């Protein structure tokens, strides 16, 4: 199975996916009016079977839940949440780059799969 992890943010969305059980980061996408269509393309292109979305605690959690509910209406594959607290902090420790949100998504995917 192929999996996609999403590190949802108000401006940028980090992404990571699996291929043959190896986790790869994907380019960050903008959180704009095209986000759902862009995610659909990624899901199709990478033959994704399941999506994991990092869910933080606090006020931003509701925005993430609202996003998940919209996404569930648009795709026909399972979506699960994964506790994502400090994943971005961990990503900063691992890699200092503009792609830190996608590294955070890889951390989320690693947690989800327990690898």
Q: Which residues pair with 26 in a beta bridge?
A: 15
pLDDT digits (tens, 9 = 90+) for 49-100: 999 999 988 888 999 999 999 999 999 999 999 987 655 555 555 555 557 7
The Cα–Cα gap between 27 and 8 comes to: 13
Closest CA to 40 of 79, 98, 11: 79
- 106 pLDDT band (50/70/90 cuts)? confident
pLDDT digits (tens, 9 = 90+) for 7-44: 999 999 999 999 888 999 999 999 999 999 999 999 99
Residue 104 has a CB neighbour count (10 Å cut-off) of: 29
Looking at the domain 3-113, which fold is it? Answer: Nucleotidyltransferase; domain 5 (3.30.420)
82: alpha, beta or left? (left if phi > 0; alpha if psi -120 to 50): beta
DSSP conformation letters of 32-61: STTHHHHHHHHHHHTT--EEEEEE-SSTHH
């Amino acid at each position: 199975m192929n999996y996609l992890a999403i590190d949802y943010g108000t401006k940028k969305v980090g992404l990571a996916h699996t291929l043959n059980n190896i986790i790869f980061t994907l380019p960050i996408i903008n959180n704009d009016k095209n986000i759902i269509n862009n995610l659909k393309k990624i899901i199709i292109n990478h033959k994704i079977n399941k999506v994991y979305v990092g869910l933080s605690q606090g006020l931003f959690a509701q925005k993430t839940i609202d996003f998940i509910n919209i996404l569930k209406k648009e795709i026909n594959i399972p979506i699960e949440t994964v506790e994502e607290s400090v994943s971005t902090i961990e990503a900063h420790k691992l890699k200092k780059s503009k792609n830190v949100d996608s590294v955070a998504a890889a951390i989320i995917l690693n947690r989800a799969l327990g690898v």
